[in-house]
Amino acid sequence: MRHKHNNDISLFLCLSFLTILPLLAKCDEHQKPYIVYFGGHSGDKTPAQILETHHTYLTSVKETEEEARASLIYSYKHSINGFAASLTPEQASQLNELDEVVSVIESRPMKYKPHTTRSWEFAGLNEAATYNPQVSNRFDTEKSFMAEDLLHKAGYGKDVIVGILDSGIWPEARSFSDEGLEPIPKTWKGICQTGQDFNSSHCNKKIIGARYYLKGFERHFGPLNATSDYRSARDKDGHGTHVASIAAGRQVQNASAFGGFARGTASGGAPLARLAVYKVCWPTPGQEKTMGNTCGQEDMLAAMDDAIADGVHVISISIGSDDLLSHMEDGISIGAFHALERNVVVACSAGNSGPTPATLSNAAPWIMTVGASSVDRAFLGRLVLGNGKMITGQTVTPYTLPQRLPLIYAADAALPWVPKNETDQCLPNSLSPEKVNGKIVLCIRGTTFRVLKGMEVKRAGGAGFILGNSAEFGDAVYLEPHVLPTTALGYNDTNEVVNYIKSTKDNATASLAEPETVFGNGPAPFMAGFTSRGPNVIYPSILKPDITAPGLNILAAWSEASPPSKVSEDRRVVSYNFDSGTSMSCPHVAGLAALIKAIHPTWSSAAIRSAIMTTASVKNKKGEAITDQSGDKATPFEFGSGHFRPSRAADPGLVYDASYGDYLLYLCSYGLRNADKRFECPKVLPPTYDLNYPSVSVPKLNGSATVRRTVTNVGGAGKAAYFFGGKPPSGLTVEARPSVLYFSRVGEKKSFELRITVRNRTAAEGNFRGGYGFGWYAWRDDYHVVRSPIAVSLG
């Protein structure tokens, strides 16, 4: 062991004993789980030798060998070289001083959490030829045939393995039937780990592997409460089952949510792909499930290490952190980087912290970062006011109030103790039964969970409730099975109801009509208000998110051990449920990546991500620009390259490929020179914006910048000519050199330069939004449009 510095750091003396799993070990009361990361493995050691090496490092900072072995949580022995262990800050610091240690990461509880049928049809994958009045008054058959061709060519993903890191799986769900499936791919090397209410028979030719990871969780919180979750890969939350079925669920007829909503055929993106389940998220002790699970960093890193070794082709991770984490602080980024080396595509959710800018997580360039947008299906819940005005909201609650009842604003019914700024929130025990009994109550979103607001109205004797958006949520509404007749309204409609109530002087009335399902509701897609936004604070020269996909009010399979609302008092049981979040959009992209992998098994992870990005659309179904939750034009910091288009992605024409070495060179330029000990950074480094990425981000531009890119011809025809075009950010020019790319064969590469120049700084500053200007460029031949977004800020 070589020290980075020669100063000695003495070990803190232990004063007490603490019971830790699995052994009783001597330790300091200030011990915490840390991850000690060495980079990758050299390949010359067996797993047993790697474990012994990790024990040796622990023994160097612990007082006894017994204490060292008891402190170990995980030894990462496959692609990732490192270990997780209980350490004092002093011991962690001492290990961090060693030359061979790349980084030491404190694993904090609650650092990571989950980002929580029509969607695939809306994306153009599972549709038949349907009449589309927005496309020249004709049948929109071209897209349908392309979608059918994609699924057929991909064999519906039958030999591709999709790994899901989440809260487990409900194996009895019809979406995970293995009826008619071919034998498990011979490339699979994983296991079916048994546990509580989960035995080997729960794995099949669909769920080919299952594991669960508890060691990190239990070091933080103590033994798992057996009533709160299963000590196995079985899902008691619903989130993991939901995302798994979106990515790769079977086609299930007559599926519907509570009350029969959205009845039809449910299907995942790659319905014949195989699933490998890695349960890493667990309920936080003392909190309702509505608060979300916690996912331990050390547990996730162990799962990713196993998934890579097991032979998965795609990993879907609908988990992230609210903290802005650099690569060496982020377990997901580290795990995804090692997946990249093995050519595994990793798709991650961007986060649900919107509409605030600079909030996205999972921002590394080797991760496919996915934002969330809407579909064109709506469940209309019409509210009829006493003045005859009809306001159309949305609902998936199968109860109605056809008779006219008194209507009251929650702020007018709050008890005296409620803070003035929260009187309209319908907080638990905040409403006066005397004022609410028998009435419809208008509650405003925020502060507490939406379903709990309805439960509070019910507790106080209310007959129904209206869930109204505040300004920050715009017109995007969540659909949930409430316990009372309900409709959810956008911000403008909410204001109209508030004004009506105020104008009637306590004589307001309303009724709630029977819900109605409609398709073609627009504009769609629009960006969900919750989806996290750029700019990319950690990697400013990488435009994020990469893509957007359906994430608002998505129907998918659910755990029958979790009520549709996740509230403990809710006794309802469902097999399919609605949920919203970038958690739902992420597996859409993972499912598409599985189909592309099936068609192009030799393509790199970067090529597959490029294909999805450069074929995306920035238009809604009406042919207009995608908007945000308030109806304003959205930007690439919300949708990335655009809304994904499965029917186009398998034939992108050109791809921006990048090797593992290219990403190591990028990290050198970024300032991280020891990401892989086998790679030596050159003396002269390229700018970070020269990574061969399918989008362009140039922060703090002074005068001009030259951005270099290389594209690979993957089109069906060997000979091709691609012509440059685009729209630069306001006040700037963008020129390509050369402006025409000629290819003579498939697989041929051509390089070009983009010259981005400030021509009118005043115009730029006057039109930039949030300090950034946006544009795009594209390469076109007779069939393909290879489009890339541009984001620039001025220095």
Q: What is the pLDDT of residues 235-262, one digit of tens each?
A: 999 999 999 999 999 999 888 888 788 8
Q: Specify whether 8 is catalytic.
A: no
Question: CA–CA distance from 653 to each of 371, 456, 528, 616, 746 (Å)?
Answer: 24, 55, 30, 13, 10
DSSP state of 284: P
pLDDT reported for residue 145: 45
β-partners of residue 443 are 467
Residue 14 to residue 416: CA distance in whole angstroms: 52
Print burial letters for 635-658: b (CB count within 10 Å at least 16), e (below 16).
Answer: bbbbbbbbbbbbbbbbbbbbbbbb
Q: Which of 5-14, 538-547, 566-575 has the lowest mean pLDDT?
A: 5-14
The predicted pLDDT at position 141 comes to 30
SS3 state of residue 319: strand
Q: Which of 131-135, 290-294, 521-525, 618-622 has the lowest mean pLDDT?
A: 131-135
User: Is 588 among the catalytic positions?
Assistant: no
Does 134 have pLDDT greater than 70?
no
* CB atoms closer than 10 angstroms to residue 682: 9
Strand partners, 405: 510
Contact 747, 619 (CB under 8 A): no
How do the residues of the chain divide into helix, strand and coil, expressed in percent and rounded to 5? 25, 30, 45
- Helix or strand run (H / E) with residue 757: strand 749-758
Interval 610-630 mean pLDDT: 95
Confidence of residue 117 (pLDDT cuts 50, 70, 90): very low
CA dihedral over 166, 168, 173, 175, signed as positive or negative: positive
Among this protein's residues, is 166 annotated catalytic? Answer: yes
pLDDT of residue 262: 81
Q: Where does the pLDDT of residue 16 fall: very low under 50, low under 70, confident under 90, or very high at 90 and above? A: very low
Report the C-alpha gap between 791 and 640 in whole angstroms. Answer: 10
Count of other CB atoms within 10 angstroms of residue 205:
16
Nearest residue to 307 via CA among 577, 624, 519, 80 = 80
* Residue range 420-461, pLDDT digits in tens: 999 999 999 999 999 999 999 999 998 888 888 999 999 999
Mention every residue, 6+ apart, whose C-beta is less than 8 A from residue 186: none
pLDDT value of position 23: 41
Catalytic annotation, pick one of 583, 604, 610, 730: 583
Identify which of 127-141, 346-360, 474-488 has the greatest average pLDDT.
346-360
Given the residues 78, 239, 588, 600, the one annotated as active site = 239
Higher pLDDT, 290 or 396: 396
Among 71, 78, 103, 166, the active-site one is 166
Which pLDDT value is given to residue 146?
56
CA-based R_g, the chain, Å = 27
**pLDDT tops 60 at residue 11:** no
In three-state secondary structure terms, 17 is strand
Q: Confidence band (pLDDT; 50, 70, 90) for 567? A: confident
Look over the chain and give the mean of its residue pLDDT values, rounded to a whole number: 90
Q: Is the pTM of this model over 0.75?
A: yes
- pLDDT, tens digit (0-9, with 9 covering 90-100), for 339-355: 999 999 999 999 999 99
| Residue corresponding to tokens 């769900």 | 173
Q: Write out pLDDT tens, residues 180-218.
A: 999 999 999 999 999 999 999 999 999 999 999 999 999
**Which of 719, 727, 736 is CA-nearest to residue 775?**
727
Q: What pLDDT, on the 0 to 100 scale, is given for residue 144?
A: 45
Q: Name the residue with higher pLDDT: 722 or 480.
A: 722
Which alpha helices (H) appear in 61-140, and where do they start and end? Answer: 65-71, 89-96, 118-122
Largest CA distance in the chain: 81
Write the CB contacts of 722 (distance below 8 Å, at least 6 apart in sequence).
Answer: 653, 654, 711, 740, 741, 743, 779, 780, 781, 784, 786
The pLDDT score that the predictor gives to residue 360 is 94
Residue 190 pLDDT = 98
Answer whether 671's CB lies under 8 Å from 539's CB: no
Mean pLDDT of all residues in 21-44: 72
Q: Euclidean distance between the first and final Cα of the chain, in Å? A: 44
Average pLDDT over residues 566-577: 87
Q: Please give the average per-residue pLDDT across 487-503, as a whole number.
A: 95
Confidence category of residue 759, pLDDT binned at 50, 70, 90: very high
Q: pLDDT band at residue 111, thresholds of 50, 70 and 90?
A: confident
Please, which pLDDT band fits residue 122 given cuts at 50, 70 and 90? low
User: Which residue has better confidence, 553 or 84?
Assistant: 84
pLDDT tens-place string over residues 365-423: 999 999 999 998 888 999 999 999 999 999 988 888 989 999 999 999 999 999 999 99
Instruction: Report which of 761, 783, 758, 496 is spatially closest to residue 651, judged by C-alpha positions.
Output: 783
Residue in this structure with the two tokens 């990403």, named with its chain if needed: 663
Q: DSSP string spanning 187-210?
A: T----B--BTTB-GGG--SSEEEE
∠ CA 676-677-683, nearest 5°, is 90
572 φ, ψ to 5°?
-75, 150
Query: What distance lies between CA 193 and its chain's CA centroid?
Result: 26
Residues in the chain: 795
* pLDDT of the residue at 716: 79
Lowest mean pLDDT among 143-147, 346-350, 549-553, 720-724: 143-147
**289, HSE (Cβ side, Cα atoms, 13 Å):** 22
DSSP run (H or E) holding 660: helix 660-670
Specify the DSSP element, H or E, that contains 725. strand 720-727
pLDDT tens track for 671-683: 999 899 889 999 9
pLDDT band at residue 116 under the 50/70/90 scheme: low
Sign of CA pseudo-dihedral 467, 468, 473, 478: positive
Q: What is the mean pLDDT of residues 299-312?
A: 98
In 3D space, the residue among 59, 74, 70 whose CA is nearest the CA of residue 20 turns out to be 70
Residue among 539, 76, 65 nearest 326 (CA): 539
Q: d(Cα 317, Cα 299) in Å, to the nearest integer?
A: 13
